[in-house]
C-alpha cells in the first residue's frame, strides 16, 4: 500500500469516476459504448441494448421525513428510465436491489414496492430481479435499467455539431424549488411539530421533486418524426452543468439564451417567494429528469410542432466557450454549479 492519501473532495464526483475508470479496458467486441454516457450500449448479434444503473442513499439522495415510500419506489425506477431515454432508447427491464435496516417494517417495504410496480406499469417495463440485504443504518436502493434501441440509433453526448440547435423538454427548476419548499416545511415542523406543513400552494413543484417522470414520450415522438438527435443526455444535475458535459463530450461550445429557458409559472412564483432568481433555479437546480439534446437545423421546423420541446440555444466551436446570453443582452460564461452528491452540497 502506498502512503499517499488524496481526499475524494479534491477530485469531486466526476474526477473520481474518471480516475477509477481511466484504465478500464474493453475486451468484448459487442461493447459499443462503455463508461462515459447516460448508459452503456451493447450489441448482441445485431440487437442493441442500453444499460444504466443508479444508487440512491437515504439522507444523501432522499429524506424520508418528507418522501412517501411509494413515491420513492416510483422515483427510483423513473430516474433510471430517464437515463435509458437519454440514449434515445426505450426501457424494457429493471432490476431492483435494496439494503434495509430493521427500522423498516415489511409494510413500509410493501409501500415502496407499490411505487416500483406503479412505475413498471406506467412505463411498460418488467422487474426481473434484484438483491435484498440488511444495512446498518438507512435505506439503500440500487436500480439497473435495460432498454432496447433500433440498431445504431442510440444517441451519445458526443455527437453535437456546430450550428445544431440545443433543446430541452418540459420545464426546468421546479424540482429544485419543490425541494427547497419541503426542506423549509421540515425545519418548521422540527421546531413546531403542531404546525401543519403548507404545501398546497405549490403542488406542481412538490410533484416534480417527489414524483418525476421519464420522457419516454419524447423518444417515441422523435422516432415518429424521423428525427435522430445528434447528441442527448438527461438533465439530472442542472442544465448548466449538463450542457457542459454535452459540450465537453462533443468538444464544442454553446450559447444558451436566458429568455428561452422554460420555467413553469408556479416555479417562478415560488422562486420569488424564496427571493431567488428563477433563472438560477432553471440553470442549476437539478433533478428535472428532462431531456437535453441537439438537432441539426434542418429538423427545426418539425421540432417546434411539439409544445413540450423548447429550443434554448445552439452549438458553437469549443473556442467560443459555453455562454449564456441574459435577457438584458449581456453574454457571460456559464458556471457549473450542479448538485454534487458526493459532498452533498453545491460545488
Ligand atoms: P448519470 O448522472 O447519467 O447517472 P454519472 O455521472 O453517474 O451518470 O456517470 C457517468 C458515467 O460514469 C456513466 O457511464 C457511469 O456508468 C459511469 N460510472 C459512474 N460511476 C462509476 C463507477 N464507480 N465505476 C464505473 N463506472 C462508473
Ligand atoms: Mg444521465
Can you give the C-alpha Rg of the chain in angstroms?
Answer: 20
- Rounded to whole angstroms, the Cα distance separating 228 from 275 reads 40
Q: Give 249 Cα–ligand 1 centroid separation in angstroms.
A: 14
For residue 36 and ligand 1, the question of a CB distance below 6 A is answered with: yes
What is the best residue among 8, 35, 156, 340 to mutate for testing ligand 1's pocket, by most ligand atoms within 8 Å of CB? 35
**In whole numbers, what is the pLDDT of the chain averaged over residues?**
94
- Rounded to whole angstroms, the Cα distance separating 96 from 89 reads 20
Instruction: Return the residue whose CA atom lies nearest to atom 22 of ligand 1.
Output: 17
Q: Give 300 Cα–ligand 1 centroid separation in angstroms.
A: 31
For residue 54 and ligand 1, the question of a CB distance below 6 A is answered with: yes
Cβ–Cβ under 8 Å, residues 233 and 38: yes
For 8-149, CATH gives 3.30.1330.10
- Beta-carbon contacts of residue 151 (< 8 Å; ≥ 6 apart): 43, 46, 47, 48
pLDDT at 194: 86
Of residues 104 and 198, the one with the higher pLDDT is 104
Instruction: Return the residue whose CA atom lies nearest to atom 20 of ligand 1.
Output: 17
For residue 236 and ligand 1, the question of a CB distance below 6 A is answered with: yes
pLDDT at 50: 98
DSSP 16-63: HHHHHHTTPPP--TTEEE-SSSSSEEEEETTEEEEEEEEEEEBTTTB-
Residue 110's CB is within 10 A of a number of other CB atoms, namely 12
Q: Give 191 Cα–ligand 2 centroid separation in angstroms.
A: 37
> Predicted confidence band at 2 (pLDDT cuts at 50, 70, 90)?
low
For residue 342 and ligand 1, the question of a CB distance below 6 A is answered with: no
Q: Give the residue extent of every domain in the chain.
A: 8-149, 165-339
- Rounded to whole angstroms, the Cα distance separating 39 from 208 reads 23
pLDDT in tens, 178-216: 999 999 999 999 999 888 877 889 999 999 999 999 999
> Predicted confidence band at 3 (pLDDT cuts at 50, 70, 90)?
confident
> Predicted confidence band at 1 (pLDDT cuts at 50, 70, 90)?
low
What does the block give as the cell for 120?
Answer: 413498471
pLDDT at 345: 43
What distance lies between CA 81 and its chain's CA centroid? 10
What does the block give as the cell for 222?
Answer: 422523435
pLDDT in tens, 39-58: 999 999 999 999 999 999 99
For residue 284 and ligand 1, the question of a CB distance below 6 A is answered with: no
Cβ–Cβ under 8 Å, residues 340 and 11: no
For residue 20 and ligand 1, the question of a CB distance below 6 A is answered with: yes
Q: Give 144 Cα–ligand 1 centroid separation in angstroms.
A: 12
pLDDT at 343: 46
Q: Which is the closest atom of ligand 1 to the Cα of 39?
A: 14
Cβ–Cβ under 8 Å, residues 253 and 323: yes
The beta strand positions in the chain, using DSSP E, are 31-33, 40-44, 47-57, 90-100, 126-134, 140-149, 165-169, 231-235, 252-257, 290-295, 309-317, 322-325, 331-333, 339-340, 345-346
CATH superfamily of domain region 165-339: PurM-like C-terminal domain (3.90.650.10)
pLDDT in tens, 258-303: 999 999 999 999 999 999 999 999 999 999 999 999 999 999 999 9
For residue 21 and ligand 1, the question of a CB distance below 6 A is answered with: yes
pLDDT in tens, 125-178: 999 999 999 999 899 999 999 999 999 999 999 999 999 999 999 999 999 999
pLDDT at 344: 45
Instruction: Return the residue whose CA atom lies nearest to atom 15 of ligand 1.
Output: 35
For residue 187 and ligand 1, the question of a CB distance below 6 A is answered with: no
Instruction: Return the residue whose CA atom lies nearest to atom 26 of ligand 1.
Output: 35
Work out the burial of residue 219: count CB atoms within 10 Å of its CB; fewer than 13 is exposed, 13-18 middle, 19 or more buried. Answer: buried
Q: Which is the closest atom of ligand 1 to the Cα of 24?
A: 25
For residue 180 and ligand 1, the question of a CB distance below 6 A is answered with: no
Q: Give 19 Cα–ligand 1 centroid separation in angstroms.
A: 12
For residue 35 and ligand 1, the question of a CB distance below 6 A is answered with: yes
* pLDDT of residue 346 exceeding 70: no
pLDDT in tens, 298-344: 999 999 999 999 999 999 999 999 999 999 999 999 986 654 444 44
For residue 37 and ligand 1, the question of a CB distance below 6 A is answered with: yes
Amino acid at each position: 500500500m502506498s502512503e499517499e492519501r488524496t481526499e475524494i473532495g479534491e477530485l469531486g464526483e466526476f474526477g473520481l469516476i474518471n480516475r477509477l475508470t481511466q484504465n478500464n479496458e474493453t475486451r468484448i467486441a459487442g461493447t459499443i459504448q462503455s463508461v462515459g454516457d447516460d448508459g452503456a450500449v451493447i450489441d448482441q448479434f445485431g440487437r442493441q441494448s442500453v444499460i444504466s444503473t443508479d444508487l440512491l442513499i437515504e439522507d444523501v439522495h432522499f429524506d424520508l421525513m418528507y418522501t412517501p415510500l411509494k413515491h420513492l419506489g416510483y422515483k427510483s425506477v423513473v430516474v433510471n428510465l430517464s437515463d435509458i431515454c437519454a440514449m434515445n432508447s426505450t426501457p424494457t427491464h429493471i432490476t431492483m436491489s435494496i439494503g434495509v435496516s430493521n427500522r423498516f417494517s415489511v409494510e413500509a417495504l410493501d409501500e415502496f414496492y407499490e411505487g416500483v410496480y406503479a412505475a413498471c406499469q406506467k412505463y411498460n417495463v418488467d422487474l426481473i430481479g434484484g438483491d435484498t440485504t440488511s444495512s446498518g443504518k438507512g435505506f439503500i436502493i440500487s436500480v439497473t435499467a435495460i432498454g432496447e434501441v433500433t440498431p445504431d440509433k442510440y444517441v451519445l453526448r458526443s455527437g453535437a455539431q456546430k450550428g445544431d440547435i440545443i433543446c430541452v423538454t418540459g420545464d426546468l427548476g421546479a424540482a429544485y424549488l419543490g425541494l427547497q419548499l419541503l426542506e423549509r416545511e421540515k425545519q418548521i415542523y422540527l421546531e413546531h411539530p403542531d404546525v401543519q406543513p403548507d404545501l398546497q400552494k405549490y403542488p406542481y413543484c412538490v410533484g416534480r421533486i417527489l414524483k418525476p417522470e421519464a420522457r419516454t414520450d419524447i423518444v417515441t415522438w422523435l422516432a415518429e418524426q424521423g428525427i435522430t438527435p445528434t447528441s442527448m443526455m438527461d438533465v439530472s444535475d442542472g442544465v448548466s452543468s449538463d450542457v457542459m458535459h454535452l459540450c465537453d463530450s462533443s468538444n464544442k461550445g454553446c450559447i444558451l439564451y436566458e429568455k428561452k429557458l422554460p420555467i413553469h409559472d408556479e416555479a417562478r412564483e415560488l422562486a420569488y417567494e424564496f427571493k431567488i432568481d428563477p433563472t438560477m433555479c432553471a440553470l442549476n437546480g437539478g433533478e428535472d429528469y428532462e431531456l437535453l439534446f441537439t438537432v441539426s437545423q434542418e429538423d427545426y421546423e418539425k421540432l417546434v410542432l411539439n409544445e413540450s420541446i423548447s429550443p434554448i440555444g445552439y452549438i458553437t466551436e469549443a473556442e467560443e466557450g459555453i455562454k449564456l446570453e441574459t435577457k438584458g443582452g449581456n453574454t457571460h460564461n456559464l458556471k457549473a454549479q450542479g448538485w454534487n452528491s458526493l459532498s452533498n452540497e453545491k460545488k
